[in-house]
A and B are shown apart, each in its own frame.
Chain A
Amino acid sequence: MEQNNDLDIAKEMSLGYYLTGVTILAVAALLGFIVRLSQTGALGNVPQLYYTLMTLHGMAAFVGWGCFVAMGLTWYTLVKHLDSPLHSTKLVMFIYWNFMVGVLLLVVAALFGNFGGSWVFLYPLSFYGYWENWAAFMWNLGVALAGISIILYGVEILLTIKKAGFGLLDALGFEILKPSKWKEGEKRVPLPIVPLAVIGWGMIIATLPFAYLLVYTLLEFMDLVPRMDTLLAKNMLWWFGHPVVYLILFPVVSFMYSIVMDYTGHDIIGEKWAKSAWFVATVVQNFIGAHHVYADLAQQQWVHAISEVGTYAIILPSLVSIFSITGTIYLYKFKWDVASSYVFVSLTFWLLAGMSGWVNATIALNEFVHNSLWVVAHFHTMAVLALSTLLFGMAFHIMDQYKGVYSKKMAKDALIVYVVSGVGFVHLWFIQGLWGGIRRSYRSTPESLNLFTWISLVFAFFLMFGLWMNFYNSYMSLTQSGEKVKEEVAVAAD
């Protein structure tokens, strides 16, 4: 009985995070549409608007939706598969509110201070923009608060695993080195927990240097410290900036394991292989961010080389997971429903996004796609078509079991609108990127690419519409209105 209460609490928290995140996404999608529209020149000469909204869109969609919702849905997954309560629900609530304060600061810095340093706000750009110093200060502070929440998220995951009686090293994949663990009937760390442990550990390691950079920047604003080495700062940014993508991806894999296990009624096949791959991820995940610095020819060659090898190695968990999940779906009786349809689409585009990422990861090919819209296309293929799809799927999966009556038809229709428009949207960026189109540029550069920007608006509109459908569906389900609908459905059923 107590376990059910724990699970209900975790569901409540997960859906609370989700509802907040999907609201942020609804706004971020609108911002994204305006950003793309302004690039065509249809809104007149508005560079400041473009760069400010581009910055806010990036941070809102990536951190406010992707990272935040992945963090939120983690709570349910932990309790469900560990069969044990969270370490501290108070800490989980603190993470939520601390994050929200950070988000508020970011919004104020952008909308009232015109901060437009892009979501990576490359050091020392904060000091040299056409925005107020207080806005740049507030932006850095807001990101620092979000970073604190991310570190605490990692801590909460590891403590919850410990509380459930599992070894932390085992959860990080080291279990594969212990033959005794693989005897029949031995208790092992549930597979969906492993990616969560890996990212929990990884985020603590990745965020601390970045937090140092942010604090240093804040001190520099107050003239308390001298200018930092710019290349070192760039590496510190990407030491965090790439692994933070895994803050979405690794939990998404965990959710995928969880949904497929529920929908087949069986464990994921190839457990040992999968854990071996996660063991690799534990080791290399923090050594690959430097591939974002490939085009910095001042960087030492050996750093590039390590980064390239590490980036290839990180393919392993994705590859093995896709293999295992596909095999599990194929071999067992699979229930097709809303959540499983979202899983299917997510799986489809996961590898596609990975393949375009492989181009970025290979130095020989990266040399002509770096800084181009190809990178933007790759990122959005992963974020929009692979990761967000699964986040929606997981949320619907929890809603299926817990609270709210959402429209399954609308959820499926949204998926179709979303996928068709999303594919068109990202591929126009791929085209522009292959033609040398520069990313983060107010005008389509070279200008000959502006036609593609105009065409992409059609896809952008429907993509936004598809996201809004899911937002509306979720909102109606999880709020008072949803309760009323639920009651009406119950009455009708009687």
Chain B
Amino acid sequence: MKVFVVLAVALLLIFLAYVIPSNFANRYDFTGTYLIGFEADEGVFTFVRLFLIIMEAIWLMFWAVFYFKVAKDATGEKDETTHAKVTNFEKYYFWGVATFLLFLVIASFVVPYAFYGDKLTHFHAPDEPDSITVYVKGTDGFQWKFDTNGDGQYDDDPNNFFIRGQKYRLVVSAESFSHGLGIYSPDGVMRGQTNINPGYEAVLYHTFEQSGTYTFLCMEYCGIGHHNMKTDVIVGGS
């Protein structure tokens, strides 16, 4: 009985875990097409939440029922009839595993790629002609520095350089140790990210969908000033 109560509480907590952010989403009117992460939209969040709620609910309920059945049956002798049951179980073994794997493959590839595939950063062409190139560097002083004109000097003021609706090709580098560039929109949602290691350049395409103050945060732990590594960038409306 105790185990059942525990699982019921766990189920409730899990349910709340996914419902609460959904309510937050409604409150902040995240119902339109916003870009989240690597240009995937809010629908991906909804998909992940719903999928996990359903999976976790089914799984926990299954275990609760299973526990009661097994615990109940454990009081009786089963060994005399188990041989036939084992044979039967093994007969369906392959199909049970295969069905689950098939479901996983469909969920993994069909759903996200079919709906968001062309928006994913990993599928961008190396060069996109309609984009403007900007160089961004993570410095040892826990700051993001910008070179907007390609002169190799990371001393340009990015404020009001970026324009809403324009696609940018951000060439990201790091000075001495690794960083992760995360772009957060004015409403505080992460819209795109890339990790970067010293000696390399990572190319991240990004379109600013809103005007206002974006924040460039560091996503990869880079030392004791990691949490201070944030640079505000004003994006112009036109």
Contacts and interface: CB of A to CB of B under 8 A. Distances in A.
Contacts of A428: 17
A332 B86 CA distance: 9
Contacts of A234: 178, 197
Contact of A273 (B93, B112, B122): B93
Interface stretch (A71-79, A296-304, A400-408): A296-304
Interface stretch (A26-34, A59-67, A430-438): A430-438
Interface in B155-189: 176-178, 180, 182, 184, 188-189
B40 A367 contact: yes
A130 B2 CA distance: 49
Contact of A355 (B56, B188, B203): B56
Contacts of B16: 427
A130 B202 CA distance: 27
A420 B70 contact: no
B42 to A, nearest CB: 10
B140 to A, nearest CB: 7
B234 interface: no
Interface residues of A, number: 87
A419 B17 CA distance: 16
B14 interface: yes
A468 to B, nearest CB: 19
Given A326-B66, A364-B112, A431 B20 contact: yes
Interface in A284-327: 293, 295-298, 301, 304, 312, 315-316, 319-320, 323, 326-327
A220 B34 CA distance: 46
A423 B69 CA distance: 24
Interface residues of B, number: 95
A344 B222 CA distance: 40
A229 B177 contact: no
B202 A362 contact: no
The 6 closest A-B pairs by CB, nearest first: A368-B37, A436-B190, A364-B112, A427-B17, A230-B197, A367-B38
Interface of B: 2-3, 6-7, 9-10, 13-14, 16-18, 20-21, 24, 36-38, 40, 44-45, 48-49, 52, 55-56, 59-60, 63, 66-67, 69-71, 73-74, 76-79, 82, 85-86, 89-90, 93-94, 96-97, 100-101, 104-105, 107-108, 112-113, 116-117, 120-122, 140, 176-178, 180, 182, 184, 188-190, 193-204, 217-227, 230
